[in-house]
Chain A
Amino acid sequence: MKKIFILLCLIITGTAFSLSSEVSDYLSLLKSEAEKENPGFSGFSAERGNKIFISSHVNDKGKKVSCTTCHGNDLSKTGKDFRTGKIIKPLAPSANSKRLTNVRDIKKWLKRNFKDVYMREGSATEKGDVLTYLLNK
């Protein structure tokens, strides 16, 4: 009986770890790319990620936007897309456990939203910084 219980525990924790490993694999991939971009790279920084997230830029419509324009200043609360009015679920994993668990979604939205706010794609360093910042929220 005890053995079965231990086995079950192992299976459950195993699946939990494999979920987050998908994201950590992506972070290591970004890290190796960041090292190529900059030989002096010494790890991702949530502080730099925060700056990327809150700084404003003028988009091609002449409107000043930042990530917080739609996601809001408090990432544990819902945001609102300023163009469509669509409600955006909280970005902070602490408030929304499904967030930042699927690498396809992470890649998709990092690409799109960098282009929406910065008018260009983010570098590997920038993407890793933002992701590190968000994962700690």
Chain B
Amino acid sequence: MKKIVPLITLLVMFLSLSIFADDHEHDENHDNDDHHYYKKKHKKKNRGYINYQSGNNANSNEGKLYQKECSACHFTYQPELLPKRSWKAIMNGLEKHFDADASLEEKEKNDILKYLLENAGDAKYISYKYFRKINKSIYSDQTPIRISEISYFIRKHRKIPKKFIVQDEVKSLSHCQKCHITADKGNYSEHSVKIPNYGRWDD
């Protein structure tokens, strides 16, 4: 009898684990169904809006590494926001990354750069109009290091009073997600703009 008790315990544990695994699988399938349904239903309305988190290869090891390492300090800008030459310049200058040392080990740096180059604004056709327009406005002899120095970006933000930008809740135009509340999903639509201490912004 004494020997049977641990055996039964182990068996129960094993069974409950496998049931849990099944549940998990089922949930994932369900999510996919939902996703297709959503895509179908909102196809027209979204007009090229990409769900960055589930789109392209953001879930690859390199994509996840980019999220992990870069979000340790700041918002993870979508790779589509800058051309390949900009990402190269940024990743090759991490020892002096704006005001900070953001150096990485060579392997990690190269993995992240690979992901950025594969998804850069000039690496592929981009269906999302804001990403396309931002890249179109960059001259071929320019290598912008800041997204906020790109002419399309400047044009789209020029009417915003300075007081909303410098306020503590925002601080700088480089903090996309402070006003674009769906920026983390790659959605910069005007409808999802909410400026702290002001509210919705209609251009």
Interface residues of A (CB under 8 A from B): 1, 4, 61, 81, 83-86, 104, 108, 111-113, 115-116
Contacts and interface: CB of A to CB of B under 8 A. Distances in A.
B56 to A, nearest CB: 25
B95 A115 contact: yes
A83 B100 contact: yes
A1 B99 contact: no
A111 B175 contact: no
B6 A1 contact: yes
Interface in B82-117: 95, 98-105
Contacts, number: 32
B157 interface: no
Given A84-B74, A86-B74, A112 B171 contact: no
A80 B102 CA distance: 17
B73 interface: yes
B19 interface: no
Contact of A111 (B5, B6, B74, B101): B101
B159 interface: no
A61 B95 CA distance: 15
A61 B73 CA distance: 19
8 contacts: A81-B73, A85-B171, A85-B175, A104-B105, A108-B105, A113-B101, A115-B101, A116-B100
Contacts of B156: none
Contact of B104 (A4, A61, A86, A108): A108
B2 interface: yes
Nearest to B71: A86
The DSSP consensus for interface residues of chain B is: loop
A81 B74 CA distance: 10
A86 B99 CA distance: 14
Nearest to A84: B74
Given A1-B6, A85-B171, A86-B73, A61 B103 contact: no
B95 to A, nearest CB: 7
Contacts of B102: 112
Interface in B22-58: none
A112 B99 contact: no
A113 B103 CA distance: 10
Contacts of A83: 98-100
A83 B74 CA distance: 10
A86 B74 CA distance: 7
Given A1-B2, A85-B175, 15 more contacts: A1-B5, A1-B6, A4-B6, A61-B99, A84-B74, A84-B175, A86-B73, A86-B74, A108-B103, A108-B105, A111-B101, A113-B101, A115-B101, A115-B103, A116-B100
- Specify which of B95, B100, B175 lies most central, judged by the most chain A CB atoms within 10 Å of its CB: B100
A112 B101 CA distance: 5
A110 to B, nearest CB: 11
Nearest to A5: B6
Contacts of A115: 95, 101, 103
